[in-house]
Structure 1
Amino acid sequence: MLRINRPDLVGRLGTQGALLGYSGALAFIAGFVNAVALLLLAFPVGNLTGVTTQLGMNTANPLLYEGHILAAILLGFWGGAVTAGAILGHSQNVPGPRHAAVLTAEAILLVLAGLGVEETQVNAAIEALGVEQTAVQGLLAAAALGLQNGLTSSFRGMAIRTTHFTGTVTDLGLMIGRARTQGIEKWKAAVLSLTLVLFLAGGAAGLLMGTSLEGYALLVPASLCATIATMSWARGRTFSMPSLPARSPQRVEEAAVAAA
């Protein structure tokens, strides 16, 4: 007879629920930041596909876009990912002190993007260097989301994207298309669906608050990041990543291609 250890089952479900909430909250933050960036800069800071394309177009026609802002976004996101990798190392514990450090850094960058460059003295210093305020805001906001994407990409067993959703929508489409023959991985489907929905909700909230508060609206996701960082630090000692069903090498390779 198959016996189920109820405490282990309850603990595993609680851990999965915590990870769902963790990932969903980060997706909401990313959607919020991206919406505010689109309002202020007319460019996204969490999805580099369009930014890279526009940067290439700007190379051919320098009058087409503001190339320095595009370059700042690209550099900021890359720098954020590098920093996340340096902080996290090989750690795959979710959450924990290292993740709390990354989220704290993200909160600081968002505060600087939303509040720091708006201050008169800081703004004057930036202009004295010959750099536009919008380029600095783009750099800081993109670095924040680069940190976040590097963080969630390091989850053991399943890289979770919370700043862009091409791979997420692809995975959901493949999952539905194969459902008849292979079934649906309910845990994976829940994570992908929740992050997508909350990213959309974050975008709506970012639009509503960014319209009235402009750059200061970034203080909202900054405070959320700080809160999650505190919770991650406190919960890190008792939290372990839920194990995911083993996948065949072929499915792992397909998932990697979709995420790319």
Structure 2
Amino acid sequence: MSFGAQRDAWTASPPVLRVFGLPSWVMPLVYLRGLIGTRRTESANRHLARILAFIAGAVNAGGLLAVGQYTSHMSGIISSMADNLSTGSLSLVLGGFGAVGSFLSGAFVTTLLIRWARARQLESEYALPLMLESALLVVFGLTGRVFVVGHAFLDTVMLLCFTMGLQNAIITKISDAVIRTTHMTGMVTDIGISLGRIVTTLYRRDGDSLDADYAKLRLHTSLVGLFFAGGFTGALGFKHAGFLFTLPLAAILLLMAVMPVIDDVRRYRQTAA
């Protein structure tokens, strides 16, 4: 049986697989493969966006406790740069440039990874940036206490900004720039727009369907709510567990990314055999 046929069979009915030659239950196969694989649905996009919004909120709040500033809000950082420039605090301005540049670099690297994998028809085109984000969160969790002090403070900020840039670019590319997960300004704006459309349509009673507006309202409201929940969880986690709180977040990302990578490894093994 070809790799494509095997993959379709797994998706239809997940069996006991042999991963790297060892029997193992891979759970839940169907959900994980659909969540970050190349065969995408609108439902998978919504689920992925909600999980990433929670993680972004947790990392953002934790970053505030760890380094004293949010690391996903480029609007705030750029505004701070302007304020610092007006007061002559050039070192803080340069630090802001480093943070913005790191966020931009993260989005840049995500695009490179996705296009590299897509050119090779890999199932893991979206999984690769998630795995990199997971690895960076592990690095931050294990070494953050060392690097958050002294001259390495800026390095920590840049690492977190790079990580958020990676993540935001993933869902931006998957959703064709409709959804963001690391900042909520656009989501709150979209909630206001949807509410305005719903109210005016109901008031006029013009018979227009509101299904699409209700769907957008549910999605955007859930993203804001999960970002908030992630922030609350991240604040508590960093307060009680410190930098190690990023390790379970990294594990969630790795779990989401693992199935497409396993698919690619199996295909490579079959091709090489």
Give the C-alpha shift of residue 212 in structure 1.
Answer: 2.1
Q: Determine whether 1:107 maps to 2:134.
A: yes
1:209 maps to which of 237, 254, 267: 237
Q: Which amino acid is 1:116 matched to?
A: T
Q: Which residue of the partner structure matches residue 106 of structure 2?
A: 80
Judged with a 3 Å threshold, the aligned counterparts in structure 2 of structure 1 residues 194 and 166 are, in CA distance, closer, same or farther, namely same
Residue 242 of structure 2 aligns with an amino acid whose one-letter code is E
8 A contact 1:176–1:184 mirrored in 2: no
User: Which secondary structure does the structure 1 equivalent of 2:174 belong to?
Assistant: coil
| Aligned-partner residue type, residue 41 of structure 1 | V
Provide the residue aligned with 2:189 in structure 1. Answer: 170
1:161-196 C-alpha deviation (Å, 9 max, x unpaired): 100011111111011101133535133233212211
Question: Does the 8 Å contact 1:20/1:194 carry over to 2?
Answer: no
Q: Deviation at 1:153?
A: 0.7
CA distance in 1, matches of 2:248, 2:101: 24
When residues 19 and 138 of structure 1 are mapped into structure 2, their CA distance, relative to the original with a 3 A threshold, is same
Q: By how many angstroms is 1:113 displaced?
A: 2.1
* Over 6 Å off, 4+ runs: none
Aligned partner of 1:143 among 153, 162, 165: 162
Normalised to the residue count of structure 2, the TM-score between the two structures is 0.69
Aligned to 1:161: 180
Taking only the aligned residue pairs, the percentage that are identical comes to 28
Corresponding residue number in structure 2 for 1:44:
70
Asked if the contact 1:87–1:101 (Cα under 8 Å) also holds between the matched residues in 2, the reply is yes
In the aligned structure 2, how far is the partner of 1:45 from the partner of 1:59?
20
Determine the C-alpha separation between the residues in 2 that align with 1:188 and 1:175.
Answer: 7
Deviations 1:36-67 (CA, angstroms, capped at 9, x unpaired): 11112221111110111001111222459844
Deviation at residue 69 of structure 1 after TM alignment = 4.0
Alpha-carbon contact 2:60-2:71 (below 8 Å) kept: yes
Could you tell me which amino acid in structure 2 is paired with residue 133 of structure 1? Answer: A
Describe the superposition over 1:181-218 as per-residue Cα deviations: whole angstroms up to 9, x where unpaired.
Answer: 35351332332122111111100000001112332222
- Distance in 1 between the 2:263 and 2:104 partners? 29
Give the AA of the match of 2:137. Answer: L
Normalized against structure 1, the TM-score is what? 0.72
Write the distance in 2 (CA, Å) between the matches of 1:33 and 1:218. Answer: 7
Question: Cα deviation per residue 1:66-123 (whole Å; 9 max; x = unaligned)?
Answer: 44543332121111011111112396xxx9411100101111121222223435xxx5
Aligned equivalent of 2:217: 189
> CA distance change for structure 1 residues 39 and 118 in 2, over 3 Å: closer, same or farther?
closer
Give the greater-gyration-radius structure (CA): 2
Tell me the distance in 2 between the aligned counterparts of 1:195 and 1:232. 25
**TM-aligned CA distance change 1:53 to 1:138, over 3 Å:** same
Map of 2:29 onto structure 1:
none
Asked if 2 retains the 8 angstrom alpha-carbon contact of 1:111 and 1:218, the reply is yes
Superposition RMSD on alpha carbons, in Å?
3.0
Higher relative contact order (CA 8 A, sep 6+): 1
Instruction: Determine the C-alpha separation between the residues in 2 that align with 1:72 and 1:205.
Output: 28
Letter in 1 for 2:81: L
Alpha-carbon distance in structure 2 between the residues aligned to 1:211 and 1:68: 29
Pair 1:21-2:47 in alignment: yes
